Amino acid sequence: MTSKNTQSFLQFHNTQKTYDQKTLVVKDFNLSVEKGEFVTLLGPSGSGKSTVLMMIAGFESVTSGDILLDGVSIAGTAPYKRNIGMVFQNYALFPHMTIAENLAYPLKVRKLPGIEIKQKVAEYLDLVELGDFGDRAPGQLSGGQKQRVALARALIFNPSLVLMDEPLGALDKKLREQMQLEITRLHKSLGFTVIYVTHDQTEALTMSDRIAVFNEGIVQQCARPAELYEKPANAFVADFIGENNFIKGTVSSVENDRVRVKISSGEAIMARRADASNSGDACLVSVRPEKLFILPSDHAYDNTLSATFTTRLYVGDFIRYFFDMPDGTEISVKVLNDLAAPDFKEGDTAQLVCLASDCSAFAAI
Amino acid sequence: MSAMRTTILNSEALTRDEAKSARREVQRHKRTAFFLVAPLLVFITLSFVVPIGTMLYRGVHNPAVAELIPETLELLEDWDGKQVPSSRVMTSLALDLQRLAKIRRSGKLAEEINRARPGMSSIIKSSARKMKKTPQDELVNSGAAHLLNAHKAWADVKIWRAIKSVGGVYSARNYLKSLDLERNFDGEIQVRKATKIYLQLYGKTLKIALYITLLCLILGYPLAYFLANIPSKLSNLLMIFVLLPFWTSLLVRTTAWIALLQTNGVINSFFMGIGLTTEPLDMLYTRFATIIAMTHILLPFMILPLYSVMKGIDASYMRAAMSMGARPMRAFFTVYLPNTLPGLSAGALLVFIISVGYYITPALVGGTDGQMISNIIAFHMQQSNNWGLAAALGTLLLAVILTLYWVYDRLVGSNNIKLG
């Protein structure tokens, strides 16, 4: 196994996990994380992402395969010996201790001298901008403050790795955005390695260096946020990340990384080849609502679709138009709310255009 | 302009009618609330406040002797207690005894005075019989001689002291007795010279209650932890087994222990059958039997509050502690245990207080060694007919429990109790 000797900080080798001795919740998981990287495990609930996190932390055993931290297997190491910081969705601040005592807990366990503990606690309280809150009880803090304390507590003992299990799930939208910035700021200034679990794709896209998209225990795609969004590897990722229109068709020819697809209306369009394989196969072409334009338009385009206007939703900063393809497939188009926003009556036919690079062709599920 | 200002002012302050109707509304709510709790209030007053008040009063109020021999006691008031009282006092007692013997009340007097000085019962009864036979005018003339003839003990100054000591309508005598104290003739409080049983019994009662509480804790804590950490479908099922003792008659459960523990009972037969012992062990009618049977009965009181508290403790606390480097034992003692304290203290307090005042189980399986304070209280109520002492013992028991609660409140804080 030469791969074990590569310099990646955290490595999964064919890691698998079963709870009931029958079905695998995590199947053949492989991932390498570099030091200082912010990697997010994203997926719907029950997709196995939290299980992976629990296996790293040591609260769940590894059924088969291995997890290496700094080149050493941790699969058999007790959780309290792993030196991994963890942030929980419900904060898990000890309610019978003050904020300062909470922060001091990992340092006391490590038998640091009292003065040093005091200094570090003060330092980390300042770091999360809660300098005056040391004597308060966790119950007296707001959700966002609690989460900042939890974050400081997970960082204060210089863990080799920080795990975050949906840490912002319990916060409201505004606070969540604030905390995203906060976590990113701390990550940039302290340079720790993060494995972050969430089901919120916006959170994943804005914060991560890389995202691993989970579904049914399998990593569907692991890539940088932009790549994940622009070049999804399969139909699940295309559907799960952001919004997408899916058009049914048949592959008529394959040219390297491009395919020509004959869609159900009879029109032919060019698309990026994702996992659509052979000509003659049924496929799905995805194109995002903001990548479609309604003629007349100044944008360059490769593909044209004709569709019938059904309705439009006024959202504010943009307007969402809905069209029906001849086979009934609904197409949504996002148009900036400016002077160019067109006017349609129900039943009007429109020409929708897009670039071939903005279309992806997937094997039909 | 001014009209506008008045409307503004009016809109800020309530008009008189508005205030009145708002007040009426509040009062109506209060009335409704009162009517809702009124039946319970009456019930509690009649079944709780009044009996306890009576009990407290009975502990200090003893009119029996004062009602039986009022004249003699009045004469004894001026007596200094150094020598046998004057013949006038003796004559008065002789007449009192004759009167009581005629209305068949001398036995009551004998019983009351016997409590202050054992052995007085027969002296008074026999004397009273003799006085009854003597003609009244003879007693008026030479009652003292007749009394001294009836029993030579009447020449003993201690008897008269005893009579004087029980003569008061109000006295702390019963309370002193419950604390194994007494008042000597000079009014000084001293340790009781005769029997000293009550303090020892209180000590034993508290000790048994402590053992039961500890045993319930040792058995209940792991079980509650287990129940709180399994799928709720399974825990609900298992909870039925915990509650089963609640739904069975107390008498049935206690009798079952008799069947198990007796000399030829299930446990002894089993031990002898497997050759562990050759002779049956004495288990029934011991302190051991009291502790075992009461632990069994009171265990749910420990498990239920613990379970409800543990159910609310998220597994992430322990995980967080361990992720920060604490070994499981340390994580348990520094994180889990402190968070179960409300349930733990509620359960311990419940079990302890209930077992301190427990009566039926020790009475049935405890023998002499397993008796607790409530058994003695019952004894004084039912057999020795000394309600005053029973009341004093009961009041002291109440005081002990209140003191314990107060100590607990200072140490742990009563806000830290979670009963379910």
Q: Are residues A38 and A133 in the same domain?
A: yes
On whether any CB of chain B is under 8 Å from the CB of A82, the answer is yes
- Residue B9: what pLDDT? 53
On whether any CB of chain A is under 8 Å from the CB of B338, the answer is yes
On whether any CB of chain B is under 8 Å from the CB of A20, the answer is no
Instruction: Indicate which CATH number applies to the domain containing B278.
Output: 1.10.3720.10
CB burial of residue B334 (10 Å; 0-12, 13-18, 19+): middle
State the total domains in chain B.
3
Contacts of B331 in chain A (CB under 8 A): 80
Residue B306: domain span:
198-416
On whether any CB of chain A is under 8 Å from the CB of B353, the answer is no
Contacts of A77 in chain B (CB under 8 A): none
B321 contacts A94? CB cut-off 8 A: yes
Partner-chain residue, chosen from A94, A153, A163, that has the shortest CB–CB distance to B335: A94
Q: Distances in Å between the alpha carbon of B76 and those of B71, B80, B85?
A: 9, 8, 8
Comparing C-alpha atoms, which of B339, B306, B305, B310 is closest to residue B228? B310
| Conformation bin of residue A62: beta by default, left when phi > 0, alpha when psi is -120 to 50 | beta
Q: Going residue by residue through chain A (365 aa), what tens digit of pLDDT does each one get?
A: 334 445 689 999 888 998 888 888 888 888 899 999 999 999 888 888 888 999 999 999 999 989 999 888 998 899 999 999 999 988 899 999 999 999 999 999 999 999 999 999 999 999 888 888 989 999 899 888 998 999 999 999 999 899 999 888 888 888 888 889 989 998 988 889 999 999 888 889 999 999 999 888 888 899 999 999 988 888 889 989 888 999 888 888 888 788 888 888 888 888 888 886 677 788 888 999 989 888 887 888 888 888 889 888 888 888 899 998 888 888 999 988 877 777 888 888 888 888 888 888 888 76
On whether any CB of chain B is under 8 Å from the CB of A344, the answer is no
On whether any CB of chain B is under 8 Å from the CB of A190, the answer is no
Smallest Cα distance from B318 to chain A, Å: 9
Instruction: Using the structure block, give the residue that is written with the tokens 């709790």.
Output: B37
Provide the H-helix boundaries in B248-366: 250-261, 266-273, 287-311, 315-323, 328-331, 337-356, 360-365
H helix or E strand, kind and range, residue A309: strand A303-314
Q: Are residues B151 and B221 in the same domain?
A: no
Gap between the Cα atoms of B147 and B145, Å rounded: 5
Q: Is residue B397 part of a domain?
A: yes
Cβ under 8 Å to A: B residues 255-314: 314
B325 contacts A109? CB cut-off 8 A: yes
Which residue, among A50, A82, A94, would best test binding to B if mutated, counting the most B CBs under 10 Å from its CB? A94
Q: Are residues B153 and B282 in the same domain?
A: no
- Residue B163: what pLDDT? 85
**3-class DSSP assignment, residue A294:** strand
Q: Is residue B278 part of a domain?
A: yes
pLDDT in tens, B7-16: 555 556 788 8
On whether any CB of chain B is under 8 Å from the CB of A19, the answer is no
On whether any CB of chain A is under 8 Å from the CB of B323, the answer is yes
- Residue B10: what pLDDT? 53
Q: Are residues A84 and A180 in the same domain?
A: yes
Cβ under 8 Å to B: A residues 134-163: 153-154, 157, 163
In this structure, are residues B197 and B96 in contact, taking their beta carbons and an 8 Å threshold? no
Q: From A235, A265, A299, give the residue that closes a domain.
A: A235
Contacts of A120 in chain B (CB under 8 A): none
Provide the H-helix boundaries in B229-265: 232-247, 250-261
State the total domains in chain A.
2
Contacts of B323 in chain A (CB under 8 A): 57, 79-80, 82, 84-86, 154, 163
B202-215 b/e with 16+ CB inside 10 Å = b?
bebbbebbebbbeb
Contacts of A106 in chain B (CB under 8 A): 324-326
Smallest Cα distance from A106 to chain B, Å: 5
Q: Are residues A264 and A126 in the same domain?
A: no
User: What are the DSSP calls for A98-122, one per residue?
Assistant: -HHHHHHHHHHHTT--HHHHHHHHH
Polymer length of chain A = 365
Gap between the Cα atoms of A273 and A267, Å rounded: 18
Q: Is residue B387 part of a domain?
A: yes
Residue A345: domain span:
243-363
| Sign for the pseudo-dihedral over CA of B264, B265, B271, B277 | negative
Gap between the Cα atoms of B154 and A218, Å rounded: 105
On whether any CB of chain B is under 8 Å from the CB of A80, the answer is yes
Contacts of A153 in chain B (CB under 8 A): 320, 324
Instruction: Indicate which CATH number applies to the domain containing A30.
Output: 3.40.50.300
Contacts of B340 in chain A (CB under 8 A): none
Instruction: Indicate which CATH number applies to the domain containing A273.
Output: 2.40.50.100
H helix or E strand, kind and range, residue A310: strand A303-314
Q: Are residues A309 and A171 in the same domain?
A: no
B104-116 b/e with 16+ CB inside 10 Å = b?
ebbeebbbbbbbb
Which residue, among B229, B323, B412, would best test binding to A if mutated, counting the most A CBs under 10 Å from its CB? B323
**DSSP-derived secondary structure letter, B86:** P
- Residue A3: what pLDDT? 44
Q: Are residues A73 and A211 in the same domain?
A: yes
Count of Cβ atoms closer than 10 Å to residue B221 Cβ: 19
On whether any CB of chain A is under 8 Å from the CB of B329, the answer is no
- Looking at every residue in chain B, the average pLDDT score rounds to 87
On whether any CB of chain B is under 8 Å from the CB of A169, the answer is no
Q: Are residues A31 and A156 in the same domain?
A: yes
CB burial of residue B19 (10 Å; 0-12, 13-18, 19+): exposed
| Conformation bin of residue A36: beta by default, left when phi > 0, alpha when psi is -120 to 50 | left
Q: Are residues A213 and A247 in the same domain?
A: no
Contacts of A88 in chain B (CB under 8 A): 316, 319-320
Q: Are residues A214 and A269 in the same domain?
A: no
Smallest Cα distance from A215 to chain B, Å: 25
| Sign for the pseudo-dihedral over CA of A152, A156, A161, A165 | negative
A105 contacts B326? CB cut-off 8 A: yes
Q: Are residues B232 and B114 in the same domain?
A: no
Cβ under 8 Å to B: A residues 279-338: none
- Residue B80: what pLDDT? 81
- Residue A365: what pLDDT? 66
Q: Is residue B353 part of a domain?
A: yes
In this structure, are residues A231 and A252 in contact, taking their beta carbons and an 8 Å threshold? no
Q: Is residue B68 part of a domain?
A: yes
Q: From A188, A217, A235, give the residue that closes a domain.
A: A235
Partner-chain residue, chosen from A89, A90, A105, that has the shortest CB–CB distance to B324: A105
On whether any CB of chain A is under 8 Å from the CB of B317, the answer is yes
B335 contacts A80? CB cut-off 8 A: no
Contacts of B416 in chain A (CB under 8 A): none
A84 contacts B327? CB cut-off 8 A: no
Q: Are residues B131 and B244 in the same domain?
A: no
| Positions of chain B with pLDDT under 50 | 1-2
Q: Are residues A282 and A170 in the same domain?
A: no
Q: Is residue B178 part of a domain?
A: no
Q: Are residues B203 and B247 in the same domain?
A: yes
Q: Are residues A26 and A156 in the same domain?
A: yes
pLDDT in tens, B293-328: 999 999 999 999 999 999 989 889 999 999 999 999
**3-class DSSP assignment, residue B183:** strand
Contacts of A94 in chain B (CB under 8 A): 317, 320-321, 335, 338-339
B338 contacts A80? CB cut-off 8 A: no
Q: Are residues B8 and B47 in the same domain?
A: yes
Q: Is residue B183 part of a domain?
A: no
Q: Are residues A36 and A160 in the same domain?
A: yes
Partner-chain residue, chosen from A96, A157, A163, that has the shortest CB–CB distance to B324: A157
Q: Are strands A218-223 and A210-215 parallel, antiparallel or unpaired?
A: antiparallel
Amino acid at A222: C
- Residue A2: what pLDDT? 39
Smallest Cα distance from A204 to chain B, Å: 23
On whether any CB of chain A is under 8 Å from the CB of B231, the answer is no
The size of the A-B interface in CB pairs under 8 A is 65
Instruction: Using the structure block, give the residue that is written with the tokens 């509480």.
Output: B213
- Residue A312: what pLDDT? 86
SS3 content of chain A, % helix, strand, coil (to 5): 30, 35, 35
Q: Are residues B28 and B92 in the same domain?
A: no
Q: Is residue B356 part of a domain?
A: yes
Q: Are residues B247 and B385 in the same domain?
A: yes
Contacts of B322 in chain A (CB under 8 A): 58-59, 79-80
Gap between the Cα atoms of B122 and B166, Å rounded: 17
Q: Are residues B349 and B272 in the same domain?
A: yes
Planar angle of CA B373, B379, B384, nearest 5 degrees: 135
Q: Are residues B9 and B84 in the same domain?
A: no
CB burial of residue A313 (10 Å; 0-12, 13-18, 19+): exposed
Alpha carbon A351 to chain centroid, angstroms: 34
Which residue, among A109, A155, A158, would best test binding to B if mutated, counting the most B CBs under 10 Å from its CB? A109
Q: Distance between the two ends of chain A, CA-based, in angstroms?
A: 34
Task: Extract the tokens encoding B124.
Answer: 């008074």
A106 contacts B325? CB cut-off 8 A: yes
Gap between the Cα atoms of B158 and B155, Å rounded: 9
Q: Are residues B314 and B403 in the same domain?
A: yes
Q: Are residues B25 and B78 in the same domain?
A: no
B274-308 b/e with 16+ CB inside 10 Å = b?
eeeeeebbebbbbbbbbbbbbbbbbbbbbbbbbbb
Smallest Cα distance from B322 to chain A, Å: 5
Q: Are residues A54 and A168 in the same domain?
A: yes
Q: From A191, A210, A235, give the residue that closes a domain.
A: A235
